Amino acid sequence: MNKIIYTTLAISSLLISGCGDKEAKTKEKNSKPSFMFWCFRKEIVSTEYQVPDMKTKKAASYIQGQLKRIPGFESSSHDLENHTVTVAYKSSTVRSMNFEEGIALSGFSVNGRPADPKAKIPEGVK
């Protein structure tokens, strides 16, 4: 008898719970939202990275060129005044830390993470 009660409680709690983000389901309908446990999450998300050494347009375009190589990259923009890069990417393909690592490996410090000392940056970029 107890097994039936526990099973019923477990199933009903699973059915009642959920992400409740119906907006993500409707807004992302055309961009194929990810589905995980009856929960829709946004497929295209964006993250902002602080890049203190990015001071010129050449540096920004160099970083964006490096980020385009990462699978799942969708688009990016930069703000030279605030030294930030905003990257939009597919959340089911790649994680935000991959872009942080990409920026660091390209020779720029990012979000407090030091730049890779072995990175070869072209002349006039930094």
pLDDT, tens only, 5-43: 778 777 766 556 555 555 544 444 445 555 555 566 688
What's the burial of 106, exposed, middle or buried (CB within 10 Å: 0-12/13-18/19+)? buried
Domain parsing of the chain, residue ranges = 1-42, 43-126
Query: Across the chain, what does the average pLDDT equal?
Result: 83
Report CA dihedral (111, 94, 68, 41) to the nearest 10 degrees: -100
Q: Secondary structure of the chain: what % helix, strand, coil (to 5)?
A: 35, 25, 40
What is the pTM (predicted TM-score) of this model? Answer: 0.70
- Assign residue 45 a region (left: φ > 0; alpha: ψ between -120 and 50; beta: otherwise): beta
CA 16 to chain centre: 29
Separation of alpha carbons 104 and 119, rounded Å = 9
Q: What's residue 47's pLDDT?
A: 96
Out of 7-11, 17-21, 93-97, 119-123, pick the least confident.
17-21
Q: What's residue 12's pLDDT?
A: 67
**CB 78 within 8 Å of CB 64:** yes
Q: What's residue 110's pLDDT?
A: 96
State the CATH class of domain 43-126. Answer: alpha beta
